């Protein structure tokens, strides 16, 4: 074993030796005096606890796990007041932690026009037309999550939809959120026309006469976003409710909310606080707020603290670059399909360095989006500067996405202690077309789950919902098989980067807890931990990998309470 690998093993949250420490003791024989409020038995229990990875039954009292053991160990804890769940086989795992969602935007997307699987321009237009018929006059039609690669790559234009949306401004985004289509009414209300100058770090796509086609990319999207009226508190509460119900159905008990995507980036935290005060949260939330406003978060923590086990703050989200699908990822060398273009950074390195150094000095956690190999390298360099400037501490720097890594930079994650926060579902989605954009050589270290794990890095997994479904079982399937969504690549796209089911489970449980400094309270099934668990209808480690996606969540338990039952 290399020295590096040993170092990483000793630091891994899932090995019980993380720097935050584990307050929970080993599972002990339960006391006969008390009965449990909840007992789950009958399924194989994957605990995530390296001292006892598999078990048979779990007991909880109130919101915490009190005992894990054999069925006969736990039986004496079953009393009159115990809610007893007897599974017919299957698997019980720690509640899934989705480490990258845009929670309210996801909630609102459930309620909006559905364009993700529109396979032709005609279908795209028909769906917008049908939705507009249900919308009130003047109401904005947003979200959509369209994908122009479904019909060969022609970008949609406002003249496709103007005739079917005369009374509603339309602002529908591509599924990666890095470009969107406005209809003429939306452009008019936003004051965008042929005379509008381009925006640094973005693009107004124009026709031959210089008029906007309706497509705005990255920073230019702000021009229209600013014209959209702010959702009401009632709407926001309904988005949150829809989001929590949806993730509970998929076994998610904690989300790390990356905030951007709806309004000003603080509306999420305000909405979650209202729900928390009412006792309405059924999903635990680590609410990350914008890097550019790190001082506001510092002041907020000074007044309100960092929250509790339902709702926590302390992280800031920033951006290095855009996305591969929009050709706005910052690459070291040009894109294979557009040899004059290598993407771009969204801000100057100096601005980014100053903001990150300030936020880090305030004790905040950096969660920074980097997709292209240049963005990744530049961010690793900035992280080095931040750490040397501000001195040693348990800062758990996070790189969000870490998609296209130059091979030379892979070992730096473990060496610098940078968490790779990645989304396996993107791999089987992008895998359909990414090789055309970056070529075969760069594809080999794209979504490099295995290389990162072998290097000793912390790899934490999530969805990027609304961009992709917040469905950890689909994510595990993606990470384990790398079978692309188009049914090609039956042995996996870049198969050497496939990981095992247990590696993927750790990425969605104990490693996720580590990524928000909460590994002493969640991410394992172990006495003393919060009783967040998911019952799945089959043992994911014992079935052919290609059938993992057929597995169903039967029950989701948060804080000892069943919040979803199939």
| In the complex, least distance from residue 358 CB atom to Zn ion, rounded to whole angstroms | 23
| In the complex, least distance from residue 384 CB atom to Zn ion, rounded to whole angstroms | 24
Is residue 282 within 8 A of residue 248, CB to CB? The reply is: yes
For Zn ion, the closer of residues 464 and 471 by Cβ is 464
| In the complex, least distance from residue 106 CB atom to Zn ion, rounded to whole angstroms | 10
In 53-211, where do the E strands start and end? 54-61, 64-69, 83-86, 91-94, 96-101, 141-146, 170-174, 179-182, 202-206
| In the complex, least distance from residue 289 CB atom to Zn ion, rounded to whole angstroms | 14
Sign for the pseudo-dihedral over CA of 391, 396, 402, 408: positive
Which strand (E) or helix (H) includes residue 356? helix 349-361
Residue 293's beta-bridge partner residues?
none
Looking up tokens 């914008």 gives 290
For Zn ion, the closer of residues 44 and 369 by Cβ is 369
Eight-state DSSP code of residue 361: H
Helix, strand, coil percentages (3-state) for the chain, rounded to 5, are: 35, 20, 40
| Cβ burial, residue 537 (10 Å; 0-12/13-18/19+) | middle
| In the complex, least distance from residue 505 CB atom to Zn ion, rounded to whole angstroms | 22
Question: Does the bond joining 215 to the residue before it have cis omega, within 30 degrees of 0?
Answer: no
Convert residues 464-493 into a mask of x (bound to Zn ion by CB under 5 A) and - (unbound): x-----------------------------
- Of 450-469, which residues contact Zn ion (CB under 5 A)? 464
- Of 65-124, which residues contact Zn ion (CB under 5 A)? none
For Zn ion, the closer of residues 102 and 158 by Cβ is 102
For Zn ion, the closer of residues 56 and 218 by Cβ is 218
For Zn ion, the closer of residues 237 and 464 by Cβ is 464
| In the complex, least distance from residue 334 CB atom to Zn ion, rounded to whole angstroms | 25
For Zn ion, the closer of residues 383 and 465 by Cβ is 465
Please tell me whether residue 373 binds Zn ion under the rule CB under 5 A: no
Distance between CA atoms of residues 45 and 524, nearest Å: 11
For Zn ion, the closer of residues 99 and 183 by Cβ is 99
For Zn ion, the closer of residues 216 and 370 by Cβ is 370
For Zn ion, the closer of residues 378 and 464 by Cβ is 464
Residues 6+ apart with CB under 8 A from 236: 104, 267, 271
Residues 6+ apart with CB under 8 A from 492: 481, 482, 483, 498
Distance between CA atoms of residues 73 and 56, nearest Å: 9
How far lies 254's CA from each of 17, 237, 283, 498, in Å? 22, 18, 5, 25
For Zn ion, the closer of residues 250 and 423 by Cβ is 423
Residues touching Zn ion: how many (CB under 5 A)? 1
The residue whose Cβ lies closest to Zn ion is 464
Is residue 311 within 8 A of residue 317, CB to CB? The reply is: no
| In the complex, least distance from residue 461 CB atom to Zn ion, rounded to whole angstroms | 13
| In the complex, least distance from residue 399 CB atom to Zn ion, rounded to whole angstroms | 12
| In the complex, least distance from residue 565 CB atom to Zn ion, rounded to whole angstroms | 30
| In the complex, least distance from residue 176 CB atom to Zn ion, rounded to whole angstroms | 9
Both tokens of 61, joined, read: 């009292």
Residues 6+ apart with CB under 8 A from 429: 468, 484, 485
Binding site for Zn ion (CB under 5 A): 464
């Amino acid at each position: 074993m290399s020295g590096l690998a040993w170092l990483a093993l000793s630091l891994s949250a899932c090995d019980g030796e993380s720097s935050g420490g584990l307050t929970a003791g080993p599972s002990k024989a339960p006391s006969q005096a008390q009965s449990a409020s909840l007992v789950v038995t009958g399924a194989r229990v994957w605990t995530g606890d390296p001292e006892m990875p598999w078990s048979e039954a779990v007991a909880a009292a109130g919101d915490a796990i009190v005992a894990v053991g054999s069925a006969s160990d736990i039986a004496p804890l079953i009393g009159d007041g115990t809610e007893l769940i007897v599974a017919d086989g299957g698997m019980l795992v720690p509640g899934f932690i989705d480490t990258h969602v845009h929670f309210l935007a996801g909630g609102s997307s459930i309620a909006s026009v559905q364009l993700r699987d529109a396979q032709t321009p005609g279908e795209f237009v028909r769906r917008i037309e049908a939705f507009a018929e249900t919308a009130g006059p003047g109401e904005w039609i947003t979200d959509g999550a369209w994908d122009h690669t479904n019909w060969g790559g022609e970008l949609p234009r406002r003249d496709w939809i103007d005739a079917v949306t005369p009374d509603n401004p339309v602002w529908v985004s591509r599924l990666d959120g890095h470009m969107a289509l406005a209809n003429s009414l939306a452009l008019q209300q936003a004051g965008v026309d042929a005379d509008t100058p381009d925006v640094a770090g973005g693009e107004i796509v124009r026709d031959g006469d210089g008029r906007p086609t309706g497509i705005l990319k990255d920073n230019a999207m702000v021009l229209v976003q600013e014209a959209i009226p702010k959702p009401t508190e009632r709407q926001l509460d309904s988005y949150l409710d829809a989001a929590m119900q949806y993730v509970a159905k998929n076994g998610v008990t904690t989300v790390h909310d990356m905030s951007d995507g709806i309004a000003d980036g603080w509306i999420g935290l305000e909405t979650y606080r209202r729900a928390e005060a009412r006792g309405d949260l059924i999903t635990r939330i680590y609410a990350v707020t914008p890097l550019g406003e790190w001082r506001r978060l510092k002041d907020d923590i000074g007044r309100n603290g960092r929250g509790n086990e339902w709702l926590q703050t302390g992280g800031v989200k920033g951006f290095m670059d855009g996305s591969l699908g929009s050709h706005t990822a910052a690459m070291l060398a040009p894109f294979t399909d557009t040899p004059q273009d290598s993407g771009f950074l969204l801000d100057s390195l100096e601005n980014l360095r100053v903001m990150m150094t300030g936020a880090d000095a305030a004790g905040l956690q950096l969660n920074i989006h980097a997709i292209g190999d240049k963005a990744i390298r530049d961010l690793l360099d900035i992280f080095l500067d931040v750490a040397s400037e501000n001195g040693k501490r348990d800062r758990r720097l996070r790189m969000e996405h870490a998609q296209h890594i130059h091979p030379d930079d892979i070992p730096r994650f473990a060496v610098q202690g940078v968490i790779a926060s990645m989304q396996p579902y993107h791999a089987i989605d992008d895998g359909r077309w990414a090789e055309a954009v970056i070529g075969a050589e760069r594809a080999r270290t794209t979504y490099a789950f295995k290389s990162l794990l072998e290097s000793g890095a912390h790899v934490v997994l999530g969805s990027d919902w609304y961009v992709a479904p917040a469905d950890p079982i689909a994510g595990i399937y993606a990470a384990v098989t790398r079978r692309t969504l188009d049914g090609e690549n039956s042995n996996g796209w870049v198969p050497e980067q496939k990981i095992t089911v247990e590696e993927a489970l750790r990425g969605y449980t104990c490693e996720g807890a580590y990524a928000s400094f909460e590994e002493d309270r969640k991410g394992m099934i172990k006495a003393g931990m919060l009783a967040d668990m998911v019952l799945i209808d089959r043992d994911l480690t014992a079935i052919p990998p290609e059938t993992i996606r057929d597995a169903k969540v039967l029950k989701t338990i948060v804080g000892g309470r069943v919040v979803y039952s199939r």
